[in-house]
Amino acid sequence: MRVTRQKVAENRERVVAMAAKLFAEHGFEGVGVDAIMDGVGLTHGGFYKQFRSKQHLAADALAQGLAASAEQMKKHKTLAKYVQSYLSPRHRDNPGEGCLIAALATDVARQSDEVRDELTAHLPGAIERLAKLTGGDDPADAHQKAVLALSGMVGALVLARAVNDKALSNAILAAARGGLSGGASLKTGAAP
Amino acid sequence: MRVTRQKVAENRERVVAMAAKLFAEHGFEGVGVDAIMDGVGLTHGGFYKQFRSKQHLAADALAQGLAASAEQMKKHKTLAKYVQSYLSPRHRDNPGEGCLIAALATDVARQSDEVRDELTAHLPGAIERLAKLTGGDDPADAHQKAVLALSGMVGALVLARAVNDKALSNAILAAARGGLSGGASLKTGAAP
DNA sequence: TGTACATCAGTGAACGCGCGTTCACTGATGTAC
DNA sequence: TGTACATCAGTGAACGCGCGTTCACTGATGTAC
């Protein structure tokens, strides 16, 4: 049964969005084509009318998810506020609605160049946006701080998700939040 | 053909070590039981004489790999030196010989409780060891710095591995190295 | 605007391969005497 | 110390399931007149 051109485009968008969500929750290898198609109420046979392969979908899903993450970042006025929401228990507990970088970080490294290219293209912009949020004067310094903030946020979220103990997980989030929100210095032996 | 008791124990160790290496390189789902057994010159049929399941091996391999990572950390006298080696291109390019936390970070979150327990048990000790390396006076402050350093190191290494562009990857490592070695402060608007 | 045909998104069954797991078998090791 | 038997780590084939991909088919949409 054929379908409106508009419906076709809609369906494709929905498949990509569902894939981004499910990949974020279970990893690239943890989700099958049938689960994604089921998720949007279609059958898996039609998948290959829309995508050349699962890998191509993965690239599209990563691109869409990263774009959504960028929008998310723009909602926050200061680095501290962004860090607070990024390192919140809510974000930790809902990878499907959260940052794709943290959700798929180690997975991406094992995917095809096509998939890795998407993250590679996205990162410089994300770092630049973070650098603006840090509000420093020296651009080089702001850039370094941005890389540090991004690394710390991704690393802390990933660790908080990997750990099996809620108290430890919360402690990691809290410590990283405190450190990245502007309170602490990383300089060794810093004292007032 | 039966085998010496000592040989049995040796073989088991070698299987676990090979598993840790291969898991670190390709992820838990990216390595089959046959590949692991092939790697140590055995056939895959005998696997279940040594391990109850692939998941049980994963837990053992993670435990052994994390212990090895702890030994690695002890070789370094200062945080700065540890950061330098952790965030080196050499470490980035050899996940099989490197830190299991960074290699399997997002994978662990999707594994069974048995596997996640291993990381959960390991992290507090790792943070404490890092806290001692920071050399601060205030224990609470040292703890926060340690969590921040661990998060930043893991996050930066993961990002550097995920990215498909060597220049960008090197830049991430360099910026994080600079920021975590004690040079920069994360305090917003820090100026001399 | 209405009609006739071509197109093609979606369906559901099937294929083929990989992988975790099982099993009957082997033959050297471990043990009991 | 030597002999006879039991044990069991390792072998290699096989099983069963899941998953990515293919394919013949359907019927509503798009198009040509």
Q: Which helix (H) or strand (E) holds A112?
A: none
Q: How many other β-carbons are positioned within 10 Å of the β-carbon of residue B138?
A: 11
Pick B188's closest partner by Cβ from A136, A144, A171: A136
Q: What percentage of chain A carries pLDDT values higher than 90?
A: 90
Please say whether the beta carbons of B19 and B58 come within 8 A: yes
> pTM for the full model?
0.93
- List, for residues A87-121, the tens digit of each pLDDT value: 999 999 999 999 999 999 999 999 999 999 999 99
| C-alpha span between A47 and A72 (Å, rounded) | 29
pLDDT number for residue A183: 41
pLDDT on residue A30: 97
Query: Which residue of B147, B170, B173 is the best one to mutate when testing the A interface, meaning the one whose CB has the most A CBs within 10 A?
Result: B147
d(CA A175, CA A184): 10
For residue range A115-149, what is the model confidence (pLDDT) as tens digits? 999 999 999 999 999 999 987 789 989 999 999 99
Q: Which residue has the tokens 């502007």?
A: A182
Mean pLDDT of chain B: 93
Q: Is it the case that residue A182 has pLDDT exceeding 80?
A: no
Q: Which tens digits make up the pLDDT trace of B15-65?
A: 999 999 999 999 999 999 999 999 999 999 999 999 999 999 999 999 999
Residue carrying the six token digits 């291969």? B22
A39 touches chain B (CB under 8 A): no
pLDDT for the residue B182: 65
**pLDDT tens-place string over residues A3-33:** 999 999 999 999 999 999 999 999 999 999 9
Q: B49 to chain A nearest CA, in Å?
A: 28
From residue B118, give the alpha-carbon distance in Å to each of A185, B79, B115: 31, 24, 6
Indicate whether A184 pLDDT > 70.
no
| B75 CB within 8 Å of a chain A CB | no
In angstroms, the CA of A112 and the C1' of D10 are apart by: 37
Counted residue by residue, chain A has a size of 192
pLDDT at residue B162 above 60?
yes
Q: How many CB pairs under 8 A join A and B?
A: 218
Q: The tokens of A10 are what?
A: 């809609």
CB contact under 8 A, A186 and B80: no
Q: Is the pLDDT of residue A57 over 60?
A: yes
Q: Tell whether B167 lies on the interface with A, counting CB pairs under 8 A.
A: no
- Contact between B111 and B28 under an 8 Å Cβ cutoff? The reply is yes
Span B99-112, average pLDDT: 97
pLDDT mean over A37-64: 98
Contact A163, B126 (CB under 8 A): no
pLDDT at B187 over 90: no
Asked if the Cβ–Cβ distance from A159 to B136 is below 8 Å, we say: no
Amino acid B135: pLDDT: 75
Residue B192 has pLDDT above 50, yes or no: no
| B12 has a pLDDT exceeding 50 | yes
CA B145/CA A33 separation, integer angstroms: 43
B125 in reach of chain A (CB within 8 A): no
| The pair of three-digit structure tokens given for residue B185, joined into one six-digit string | 């402060």
Which is nearest to B136 in space by CA: B178, B182, B72? Answer: B182
3-state SS of A14-57 is HHHHHHHHHHHHHCCCCCCHHHHHHHCCCCHHHHHHHCCCHHHH
Per the CB < 8 A criterion, the answer to whether B142 and B76 are in contact is no
Residue-level pLDDT at A136:
75
Burial class (CB in 10 A: 0-12, 13-18, 19+), B72: middle
Q: Which residues have C-beta within 8 Å of that of residue B177, sequence separation ≥ 6?
A: B83, B84, B87
Which residue type does B152 have? G
Mean pLDDT of A151-158: 98
CA distances from B21 to A9, A69, B124 (A): 44, 33, 23
Q: What pLDDT is attached to residue B189?
A: 36
What number is the average pLDDT over the span A168-176? 98
* CA proximity to B185, closest of A142, A139, A186: A186
Strand D closer than 7 A to residue B50 Cβ: yes
